[in-house]
């Protein structure tokens, strides 16, 4: 879609053109509890365009979406629909103005049928003002057919449907409202690849009908495949609105993080110390086979390999969850029997697991409670937990790791993904470990938070900590590691020092080991 007739920056909404705009935001600001989360943001959405809204977690995207959807009210600034200033007191007002949202968490009613989910709140009525179920079912069928979803059973309860199907129901719901603007909040975050392709086809289909899409996503390929224009937010501020043709991936990232990406991986600080951890022919069943390596204080050792190559299993063996069936583990040069995670912890080993949501955090609890959890024994006074020390410990973690939070009492689930990750780190580092094993330390967090975690890792190594990092992201392995071990089929198949660890060399070993394992 060649939308090049308009000026490329966002300020261009003068009265003559804005009469046709399905939504336009002018200098919108919003604060929560005195913290300004959106400040002076202006952009507009044109009919039939896909308008990408990008920014790091915590940049204010969600707040902007909620303001447009009528869930939040702007403190300052105007929202214009068809050139007229409107006030959305509730989602109902936004619906009436033709603005619908496909929420990330998919706001559906699991116990109601597909048809009712599409129409609830605006059901077709009979002449007597009662709900016309038959008309509702007919229209639901039509709507789903128009989205090429002939396979969806309109009489099925939503509880048993896949995420992709639920999303199509939300889209059908928006169409039932005659939406002119459809806001999609990370629509592909939870989708399988086939569903992503289907969604992209639906998005194109909607645009062809003149529906404007506000598309929030972290995934660059989707942005470049779908979007006409992109608006970038950073720390609640509007950075720019540009046609996608004028930007590339590097440019977008630098707009989002406010610095260029080559500084993402911080340089090594200080020198390596003594050997902290040494493995000699360590095995666990058939998943960990004859692993030997050593890790020095102040060093970051990267463990590369494909999923299933035995990296996480090796970490679990070191941490005492699956103690070795043969071989020796030496800590500070002394052979140790690590038969449980408690034993590992007592030796100064900490393990930050891969799945933070499930294993790392209790999201309904506060930052201080989460940090205290791994250290309760140390924070006891007599038989009671010393609340003052718990708070102090959390305060320290907040400053040390730069956690953006109101204070130790804030609930973890209110934090952005990157900040949650820092709480996990705070929790494990409060045990004062000397050897830190990190499994996929930056999976699922945005680019800016990633950089902060990387800097933190470097700082910790600079302070003398020995870090073993498992990562499936090759750039991360190459950028962060002082040395790289490549695993395959439960064995170490190659080792590279910093100078020789290139993407080609490491990548070749990773895939070669896979082939050998299959043979």
Partner 1 sequence: MTVEASPAPLGRSAFQRFIGGYGQEIVVFLSIVFLFIVVGAINPRFLSDTNINSIFAGNAYIAVAAIGMSMIIIAGHIDVSVGALIGVIATIAGTLAVSGYPVWVAWTVPVLFSIVVNGLVGALVAYTRIPSIVVTLGMLSILKGGLISATAGAWISDMPPEFMIAQMRPFGIPSAVYFMVILTIIASLFIRYTDFGRSIYAVGGNMEAARAAGINPERTVVGVFALHGFFAGIAGILFATQLQVIQSTVPPNLELTVITASVIGGVSILGGTGTVIGSTLAAILFACIGSALIFLNVSAYWLRAVLGLMILATVLADMARRRRAK
Closest to 24 in 3D by CA, of 60, 58, 55, 49? 49
Closest to 309 in 3D by CA, of 82, 485, 148, 70? 485
CA distance 314 to 322: 9
- 267-286: contacts with partner 1 (CB under 8 A): none
155 binds partner 1 (CB under 8 A): yes
Q: Which of 6, 82, 123, 205 binds partner 1 (CB under 8 A)?
A: 123
Query: Which of these ranges, 154-162, 250-258, 290-298, 373-381, lies near partner 1 under the rule CB under 8 A?
Result: 154-162
Least CB distance to partner 1 at residue 184 (A):
14
CB atoms within 10 A of CB 337: 11
166 binds partner 1 (CB under 8 A): no
CA distance 389 to 297: 29
356 binds partner 1 (CB under 8 A): no
CA distance 199 to 193: 10
CA atoms within 13 A on the CB side of 198: 15
Q: Which of 40, 122, 146, 336 binds partner 1 (CB under 8 A)?
A: 122
Query: Which of these ranges, 110-118, 344-352, 408-416, 439-447, lies near partner 1 under the rule CB under 8 A?
Result: 110-118
Q: Report the chain's C-alpha Rg in angstroms.
A: 26
Paired tokens of 66: 């909620």
Contact 434, 413 (CB under 8 A): no
Q: Which of 1, 27, 85, 131 binds partner 1 (CB under 8 A)?
A: 131
Q: Which of 111, 246, 248, 497 binds partner 1 (CB under 8 A)?
A: 111
116 binds partner 1 (CB under 8 A): yes
CA distance 120 to 122: 6
112 binds partner 1 (CB under 8 A): yes
Query: Which of these ranges, 121-129, 295-303, 304-312, 361-369, lies near partner 1 under the rule CB under 8 A?
Result: 121-129
Q: Which of 25, 37, 108, 457 binds partner 1 (CB under 8 A)?
A: 108
190 binds partner 1 (CB under 8 A): no
Least CB distance to partner 1 at residue 55 (A):
23
148 binds partner 1 (CB under 8 A): no
141 binds partner 1 (CB under 8 A): yes
Query: Which of these ranges, 22-30, 122-130, 245-253, 489-497, lies near partner 1 under the rule CB under 8 A?
Result: 122-130
Closer residue to partner 1, CB minimum distance, 214 or 226 = 214
Q: Which of 36, 78, 157, 443 binds partner 1 (CB under 8 A)?
A: 157
Task: Classify residue 514 by burial, with Cβ atoms within 10 Å: 0-12, 13-18, 19+.
Answer: middle
Q: Where are the alpha helices (DSSP H) in 148-241?
A: 163-176, 193-208, 220-226
Closer residue to partner 1, CB minimum distance, 20 or 109 = 109
CA atoms within 13 A on the CB side of 253: 17
197 binds partner 1 (CB under 8 A): no
Closer residue to partner 1, CB minimum distance, 95 or 238 = 95
Q: Which of 4, 12, 110, 273 binds partner 1 (CB under 8 A)?
A: 110
Query: Which of these ranges, 41-49, 103-111, 270-278, 511-519, lies near partner 1 under the rule CB under 8 A?
Result: 103-111
Beta strands 99-102 and 181-185, pairing class? parallel
165 binds partner 1 (CB under 8 A): no
Contact 61, 55 (CB under 8 A): yes
Least CB distance to partner 1 at residue 91 (A):
5
Q: Can you point out the beta strands (E) in 160-272?
A: 181-185, 212-216, 229-234, 237-243
CA distance 144 to 151: 9
Report the largest interatomic distance among the alpha carbons of the chain, rounded to a whole angstrom: 85
CB atoms within 10 A of CB 289: 20
- 22-81: contacts with partner 1 (CB under 8 A): 69, 71
Binding residues for partner 1, how many (CB under 8 A)? 35
CA 100 to chain centre: 23
Q: Which of 5, 33, 134, 262 binds partner 1 (CB under 8 A)?
A: 134
Task: Classify residue 205 by burial, with Cβ atoms within 10 Å: 0-12, 13-18, 19+.
Answer: middle
Closest to 279 in 3D by CA, of 342, 309, 321, 323? 323
Q: Which of 17, 40, 86, 138 binds partner 1 (CB under 8 A)?
A: 138
Residues that bind partner 1 (CB under 8 A): 69, 71, 90-92, 95, 101, 103, 105, 107-112, 115-116, 120-123, 130-131, 133-134, 137-138, 141, 150, 153-155, 157, 159-160
């Amino acid at each position: 879609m060649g939308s090049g007739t308009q000026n490329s920056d966002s300020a261009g909404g003068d009265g003559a053109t804005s009469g046709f705009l399905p939504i336009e935001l002018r200098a919108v600001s919003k604060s929560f509890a005195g913290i300004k989360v959106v400040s002076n943001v202006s952009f507009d959405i044109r009919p039939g365009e896909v308008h990408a809204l990008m920014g790091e977690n915590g940049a204010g995207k969600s707040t902007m979406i909620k303001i447009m959807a009528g869930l939040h009210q702007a403190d300052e600034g105007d929202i214009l629909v068809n050139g007229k200033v409107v006030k959305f007191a509730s989602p109902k007002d936004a619906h009436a103005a033709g603005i619908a949202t496909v929420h990330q968490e998919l706001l559906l009613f699991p116990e109601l049928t597909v048809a009712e989910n599409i129409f609830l709140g605006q059901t077709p009525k009979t002449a007597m003002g009662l709900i016309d179920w038959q008309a509702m079912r007919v229209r639901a069928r039509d709507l789903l057919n128009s989205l090429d979803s002939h396979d969806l059973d309109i009489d099925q309860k939503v509880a048993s449907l896949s995420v992709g199907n639920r999303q199509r129901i939300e889209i059908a719901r928006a169409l039932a409202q005659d939406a002119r603007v459809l806001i999609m909040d990370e629509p592909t975050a939870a989708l399988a690849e086939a569903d992503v392709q289907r969604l992209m086809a639906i998005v194109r289909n909607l645009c062809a009908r003149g529906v404007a899409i506000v598309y929030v996503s972290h995934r660059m390929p989707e942005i470049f495949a779908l979007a006409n224009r992109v608006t970038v937010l950073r720390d609640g501020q509007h950075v720019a609105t540009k046609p996608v043709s004028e930007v590339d991936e590097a440019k977008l990232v630098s707009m989002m993080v406010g610095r260029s990406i080559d500084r993402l991986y911080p340089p090594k600080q200080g020198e390596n110390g003594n050997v902290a951890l040494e493995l000699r022919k360590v095995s666990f069943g058939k998943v960990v086979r004859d692993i030997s390596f050593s890790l020095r204080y102040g060093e970051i050792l990267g463990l590369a390999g494909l999923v299933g190559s035995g990296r996480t299993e090796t970490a679990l063996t070191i941490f005492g969850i699956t103690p070795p069936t043969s071989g020796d583990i030496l800590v500070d040069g002394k052979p140790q029997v690590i038969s449980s995670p408690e034993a590992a912890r007592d030796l100064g080993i900490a393990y930050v697991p891969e799945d933070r949501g499930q294993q790392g955090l209790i999201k309904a609890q506060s930052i201080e409670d989460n940090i205290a959890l791994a250290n309760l024994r140390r924070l006891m006074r007599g038989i009671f937990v010393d609340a003052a020390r718990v708070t102090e410990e959390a305060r320290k973690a907040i400053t040390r790791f730069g956690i953006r939070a109101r204070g130790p009492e804030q609930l973890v689930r209110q934090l952005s993904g990157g900040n949650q990750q820092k709480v996990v780190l705070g929790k494990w580092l409060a045990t004062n470990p000397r050897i830190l094993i990190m499994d996929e330390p930056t999976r699922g967090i945005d680019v800016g938070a990633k950089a902060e975690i990387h800097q933190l890792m470097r700082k910790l190594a600079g302070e003398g900590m020995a870090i073993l990092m498992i990562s499936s992201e090759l750039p991360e392995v190459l950028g962060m590691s002082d040395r790289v071990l490549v695993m395959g089929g439960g064995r170490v198949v190659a080792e590279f020092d910093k100078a020789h660890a290139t993407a080609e060399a490491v990548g070749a070993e990773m895939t070669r080991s896979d082939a050998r394992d299959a043979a």
